[in-house]
């Protein structure tokens, strides 16, 4: 059933809700009380115009109607909860997908920076080697002039 609402204090099984609660068909729902089965006494919103037919196309009597309406209300409520959870999970999934894209982008950037650092390290190692060779050459030249 769509929406919420308070139940009236009436003990009548088909009392009107204190606020307008609409059925899925768009009509104003009334508060009903389950008369038989495991949910006896529980209240639910139900539409006056819903036909209730069993698998043999026989109309249910009043005794089974309230129970079936209550079960339907329960199932509709559970479906709404599942739909809400599904929407939340879809939003969470979208956020996680965006986060994964960001992480992949950052990883690519990090790889590029690492390749640049490795190239710089090699260049510095070569420069250090040449500087030591130059130092050794100059040192030998200076020593040969001094002797």
**Higher-scoring residue by pLDDT: 8, 67:** 67
Smallest CA-to-CA distance from 45 within 64, 20, 63, 62 is with: 20
Report the alpha-carbon distance of residue 35 to residue 63 in Å, rounded. Answer: 6
Smallest CA-to-CA distance from 70 within 94, 96, 37, 101 is with: 37
Q: Structural domain boundaries of the chain?
A: 30-105
Report the alpha-carbon distance of residue 40 to residue 12 in Å, rounded. Answer: 14
Say what the pTM is.
Answer: 0.42
Average pLDDT over residues 120-139: 94
Give the model confidence (pLDDT) of 28-67 as tens digits: 777 777 777 777 777 776 666 654 433 344 444 455 677 7
- What's the pLDDT at 40? 75
């Amino acid at each position: 059933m769509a929406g919420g609402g308070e139940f009236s204090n009436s003990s009548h099984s088909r009392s009107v809700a204190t606020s307008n609660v609409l059925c899925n068909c768009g009509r104003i729902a009334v508060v009903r009380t389950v008369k038989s089965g495991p949910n006896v006494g529980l209240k639910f919103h139900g539409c006056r115009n819903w036909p209730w037919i069993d698998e043999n196309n026989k109309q249910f009597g009043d005794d089974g109607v309230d129970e079936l309406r209550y079960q339907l209300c329960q199932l509709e409520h559970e479906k709404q909860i599942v739909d809400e959870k599904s929407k939340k999970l879809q939003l969470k999934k979208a956020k996680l997908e965006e986060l994964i894209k960001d992480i992949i982008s950052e990883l690519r950037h990090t790889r590029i920076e690492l390749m640049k650092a490795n190239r710089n390290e090699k260049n510095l190692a070569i420069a250090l080697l040449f500087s030591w060779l130059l130092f050794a050459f100059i040192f030998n030249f200076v020593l040969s002039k001094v002797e």
